[in-house]
A and B are shown apart, each in its own frame.
Chain A
Amino acid sequence: MDQSFELPDSTDWLETPLSLLAPFESSLRCQVCKDFFDNPVITSCSHTFCSLCIRRCLSAEGKCPACRSSDQELKLRRNWAVQELVDAFKLARPSVLDLARRKNVRLARGEEETEEPAQKKRKVQQVEEEELQVPETSSQGRRTRSQRSINSSVVERTVPQIMPEVIEDSQDDEEYMPGDGLVACPICFRKMKEEAVFPHLNVHQQEEELPRKTPTKPASFGSLKGTSQRDLPLPGKQPERLPAINYSILKDNSLRKKLRDLGIPDWGQKQLLQRRHTEWMNLWNANCDSKSPKSKRILLQELDVWERTQGGHAAAPSAFTTSNNVMRKDFDANEWSNNHDDDFKRLIANARKKSEVQVRSTIPGASSSSSPHQEGTGLPVNGARVELNPDTDDHHVVDLSG
């Protein structure tokens, strides 16, 4: 993996005068995926995680990853306040970090603000170019095609465009004394103290979100009311959410049919069907927690990514993972032996050939003994097993045959 690109991280603040923002930023990040909260939900033990992260954890273990107390997916509740904090912080982050870094450069050089304005402007633009790439690289992860990341990267792209003007402002404006600590809001250009910019940005964020929120909220309440009056067994639950399935009471075929009805792939053995259904349920229900849910087509693409990395199409990229799979609890020995049947046969044939050669070479010496024939017939079988080992250079194959 290429590690040369820069990932936004809470440690970015440590070298700046705003190093106290590092713990602040890490508290806005999910403890499981270490990224900013994405559709944060709160557990019954009051820990907050990304909806998808905690759903995956709970479906694997049924415990809160932070405190290990048992919890259920059904009890997760959205944490809008945290979502708003994260959105606001993400919006403000590039400009605040940039400001902090520039301050750092200035402090290191002992420069006055009025010196070399032209050169500084160029530097700032370079920094911004770097940061422009950051949201793009980081969005190549889970949310690559999501509506939200497109939205946010658009926002992030527009902010730096405004930025250079801001700097020109503060530098050209000679009414302000250099180093008086007043900076301009990147959105409305109002001058204020440096520490006031951050809370001020939240005001803009809220203004921006108000029109968006008003249409969605009544709509979801409306649909909720409508269905709960009809047939929704659990009030307060989103109607579109997928219920968990007790896999043990379902036969393979009915599970397969369920998957088909959901519109997701229905091939593979029951174990795989279960895992695929669980992943789909997690993706789907996490999407229900989103302010701007993705389309089913995008979720299907995400399921396909899962299929290729962890599901039925998960390739074994190296000998290491192959042996790992073999040793897994849920390893499907039948499927494995079907897939590798030819290999086994070829290896056995090779081994037989070799042992036949051995037998022939030993027969001249053994020909004087009274029972060469018996030894000759007995050997290929034994020999096959012995020869199998070095040929396969993988002891797991032997484990399997035993």
Chain B
Amino acid sequence: MEIIVYPRRYQPVVGVGMVNLGKVNRIRASGGSTMFKKVTAVLLAITALGWVGVAQAARTDIVVGMQLEPPNLDPTAGAAAAIDEVVYANVFEGLTRFGADGSVKSALAESWDISEDGLTYTFKLRSGVTFHDGSAFNASDVKFSLDRSRADNSTNAQKQLFDSIDTIEVADPETLVITLSAPNGALLFNLAWGDAIVMSPDTFDKAKTAPIGTGPFKFSRWVQGDRIELETNPDYWGTAAKLEKVVFKFISEPTAAYASLMAGDVDAFPVYPAPENLAQFEADSRFNVVVGSTEGETILSTNNKQPPFDNKLVRQAVAHAINRQEIIDGAMFGYGTPIGTHFAPHNPVYKDFTANSAYDPEKAKALLKEAGFADGFETTLKLPPPSYARRGGEIIAAQLRAVGIKTQISNLEWAQWLEQVFRGKDYGLTIVSHTEPMDIGIYAKPDYYFQYDNKEFQQLISDLTLETDEAKRAEMLQTAQGIIADDYVNGYLFQLAKTGVANAGIVGLWENSPTQANDMTEVYWSK
């Protein structure tokens, strides 16, 4: 068992304890057997003082539980959500950032001007910003970081964010000018992603193990396989964080996560992995359970190039064979919102397409017959480790079996899943939650793992990128949602809920998950 020093528990006791020691020594030095009573009295008083001390001093550290450990700490060099969940907004910042409600806020850019034609963005940067190693931040750092991320040899996982950028110029140390090749209404949104954060040219190559950013927390140490520690950055340009120390502890086993929360070893689990335990935490006054929304569209990904899924009728049959509510109840214990397309329901331009693929096993059977599979067929269902996939997979297998589709389930670890399914495209069906915000654009990539190739959709998405008018963008996004829903590209299951469990004394954790992040800047202990 790991022992973590909690200042709340130790600081007051240590402080009073030193006084205590002196007094007791003096009393002892004066000698005499009646001293015993006095010593007891003093000890009692000190104990009482200690309690008061405990009650007054709010803790300034937090232990945050995460299920997956990040492979590295450079958000510009990896797709793993766990990277952003540690460093986004805490260690690294970009020109803009996401707020708790998903809105785009200013970060290292204090303000910006957009030219009439929408092609030139002039960013006014904040002054007095320093990196954690003490070096000063200026516009050339931003230019370096963005140029590195959009370079041909860049390993950035979301390179398409920078597609529309033509040139980046440093006007003066506090002014940056980005010129676009075509108008892009989503530029400020794109720059808020964790993949667009700013690093210094001197330290970027060490970011994987020792990240140096501009954020309110400094990276302190990483105990591989166990935890990552951050400490407050005293030279932060903005409002300093209230916490002094943040520990991200990695607990992959849901059982262990449960035990560590109950024992108080972990203070908060922003994405608690076992929804079946939430009722217990809710009943316990020591904990707060907050169920919010995430950007995680949980879908039954279908290999659109693998027969028989290259036949739209078959995909439609699969869609009608799925009973979403049963999956949400059975796999997620009721937490989750049904979706009918690849779009987050809390987004204002979301359109409900669930009726399009309503649960109708008879229709599914009829469609299979029409497609020439009256006796059904057999396919593979490859499941990554999260419980939404493992449990959801068993339920979907039973639902598909009811209409004559036999599935061979194989449970894979993440590494195997990435290898076989995501990169190898060797699968029929799989279940995964796509947690990036506004990621409908992945359907325009024909070589993405579900291999959906629709020229009309690809044209729509490239038009969308150029469109800056909000109303038109909304309309186009809705059309896009409709196209993939009508093509039954994947089985659309539900929007993953953010099931957060935290000690009742913690204030300021994000309720929803507009991006992959555990923003600790506003978190504090109320008691």
Q: Do A and B bind each other?
A: no
- Residues of chain B having any CB pair with chain A under 8 Å: none
- Residues of chain A having any CB pair with chain B under 8 Å: none
